[in-house]
Structure 1
Amino acid sequence: MNPGSVVALTLNMNITRNQAICMLFCEEYSDDNATRLAKKIEQLGAFDVCYENDPRRPVLVNLFAIRNDPFTFKRYLTARSQPDIEKKENMKFELDSESQVVSFLNEAFRPYVEPQNACYSLKNITMKDVYMSVIPKTQCLNGKSEVAFALWCSKRKVDLMNVPISRKRERESNKRYRKLYVMKDEYQDDVVEAVATHIPRYHNYIQSLKKQNLSIIGYARKSPGCESNENRKTLLNRMVKCLQERSLCDKIFVSSYSVADEPLMSRDMNESNDLSNGLECVFGNTQAMISYIRSSEKNVCLVAIDFSGLSTNTNDLTTFIENHENLKTIIIDTLPYKHKVHVFERHSVLENPSLLNAFNCRSKPVQRSKDV
């Protein structure tokens, strides 16, 4: 996996599996060609087409490897036939949280897609159309009217709300609609499944790192503020719990009082502000984490919740990586907000430090103690 790569927890929406198969064999895309070439893949046995970083570069990989490491080997969107739909009726997935609903809406109703995208159709869509599409897929919006749903979409900054409203006179009334690229029905269930199963697939990825003998450590940081120490401990304990349960961290370290751009080596030098001893399942502060990375016999993967949860000082972070050879991977977890994790690998970050520009991004505080 390339450093700085975004591990999205949905499928690739720009290229379908049939298109990828034709690309793999360097043939022009058509339904007939895709069907013929898919039979060639079937003859090979337990293989399927997938991609690692660029969906325009499909590869054939053993199905066992794909299922064992879905974060490395990503699959293409597949249109479900009627038998497939009927077969999956008893294992239908639902969107369990509002953040999952936002992720689905941002995939299913897009302001723009690439011209060659076969998964979408350009349509005039009303908020009622969007409402009727998503309500059967979740229970977390039960009780919301269409008007309340529209207000909720605006508050949650769903992408489709950025498209200007047009009006059309129809049957003595003004119809309000947006011109959107709408995902075809036969692809939508795959998106719901991908969004709804992101945690198990993320766990598989973390387990694959552990099998490579990496030590997974977590880091939680809290900015200075006016909270009482008890409230601060409560918030830090929530972050620790998220790192334990979501990222399966073996050890967790915290910085009780530090700002996002403070150099890592300078943090927590004043032990009078250190609350780490009063927290659950915490192995120390930033200085303890630095000592652990330096002395660890294993290579280390460091996980933080959101970019600012680690640092917004890109120059300092580059230096920190350079000076700690055991630090092989950094994972930034934005699952509660965007259903993505961002992976940065040491060797390529050192070759191209600009990959860390993603850390120079804080515009407003995020709730790092939030669960998915």
Structure 2
Amino acid sequence: MPTITRGQAICMFYGEKYTKENVAILTKRIEDAQVDICYTDDPNNAFLIWEKKVNQQPLRYHTYADEIQKPGSNDDTSVITGFPLTCSAQIVQFLNMVYLADNPGNEELYDYQQETQKRILSNVWKYTTIFDEKGIRMFGRLAFWRPPKTTT
């Protein structure tokens, strides 16, 4: 699922080209109406709703981030704390979210790069301790394993 900023969502909602000028004009229009742009399931399906309604049901209505940092824009050597990945299913989900297999079509947020398995593992190590003793071979089996195709 592509990541969309608040400014991009506003321009998409009004059918305008994404430029800084359009974002400023359309954001003012939304703020003057005391509504907010949000989505429920799919960030591509934005809609306007009263600000109070968003605050009343924050788990139902999701707002867009004003700005999203690109990977590598901050210190890559820092260790993340808070929500460690504790099982293989969480790691697979993390890999699918961070390392996209196809082009999301959003050059504002994503840079196309080819990554090595070793570099991917070094990033995963920031979030989990599962591979501390098992190393790159176990990581390769988990991350790049594909179920066998069945023939009918």
Q: TM-score, normalised by structure 2?
A: 0.66
Within a 5 Å distance, the mapping from 1:3-22 to structure 2 comes to: 12-22=1-11
Counterpart of 1:64 (choices 23, 48, 55) is 55
Aligned counterpart in structure 2 of residue 29 of structure 1, from 18, 21, 28: 18
Q: 2:89 aligns with which of 99, 105, 108?
A: 99
1:284-317 per-residue CA deviation (whole Å, 9 max, x = no partner) reads xxxxxxxxxxxxxxxxxxxxxxxxxxxxxxxxxx
Distance 1:92 1:33 in 2: 37
How far apart, in 2, do the equivalents of 1:139 and 1:79 lie? 27
Question: Which amino acid letter does the alignment assign opposite residue 131 of structure 2?
Answer: L
Pair 1:153–1:20, CA change in 2 (3 A): same
1:144 to 131, 134, 137: 134
Task: Classify the secondary structure of the residue corresponding to 2:114.
Answer: strand
Q: Is the contact between residue 22 and residue 34 of structure 1 (CA under 8 Å) also seen in structure 2?
A: yes
How many residues are treated as equivalent by the alignment? 137
Whichever residue aligns with residue 22 of structure 1, its letter is C
Distance 1:25 1:112 in 2: 27
Q: Which has the higher contact order (CA 8 A, sep 6+)?
A: 2
Find runs of 4+ consecutive structure 1 residues off by over 6 angstroms.
Answer: none
Give % identity: 26
When the two structures are superposed, what TM-score results if normalisation uses the length of structure 1? 0.31
Indicate how the Cα distance of structure 1 residues 111 and 32 shifts in structure 2: closer, same or farther if over 3 A, else same.
Answer: same
Counterparts of 1:76 and 1:63, CA distance in 2: 12
Q: Displacement of 1:122 after TM fit?
A: 1.1
- Structure 2 counterparts to residues 101-180 of structure 1, below 5 A: 101-116=91-106, 118-155=108-145, 157=146
Instruction: Give the 3 Å change call, closer, same or farther, for CA 93–123 of structure 1 in structure 2.
Output: same
CA drift of 1:28 comes to 1.0
| SS state at 2:68 partner | coil
Is the partner of 1:67 in helix, strand or coil?
coil
Take 1:34 and 1:91, find their aligned partners in 2: how far apart are those partners? 34
Which structure is higher in strand share? 1
Give the alignment of 1:324-335 within 5 angstroms. Answer: none
Give the corresponding residue for 2:77.
Answer: none
The alpha-carbon distance between structure 1 residues 145 and 68, as it changes in their structure 2 partners (threshold 3 A), is: closer
Higher relative helix content: 1
Distance 1:29 1:150 in 2: 39
Change (3 A) 1:98 1:44: farther
| Matched residue, 2:68 | 79
Residue of structure 2 in register with 1:52 after alignment: 40
Aligned counterparts of 2:15 and 2:124: Cα–Cα separation in 1: 38
In structure 2, do the counterparts of structure 1 residues 65 and 126 end up closer, same or farther at CA, with 3 Å as the change threshold? same
> Do the aligned partners of 2:81 and 2:127 also contact (CA within 8 Å) in 1?
no
Encode CA deviations 1:83-134: one digit per residue, 9 max, x unaligned: xx9xxxx984333322111101011112213434643221121111211222
Q: Can you give the 5+ residue segments of structure 1 that lack an aligned partner in the other structure?
A: 1-11, 159-362, 364-372
Cα distance in 1 between the residues matched to 2:134 and 2:8: 39
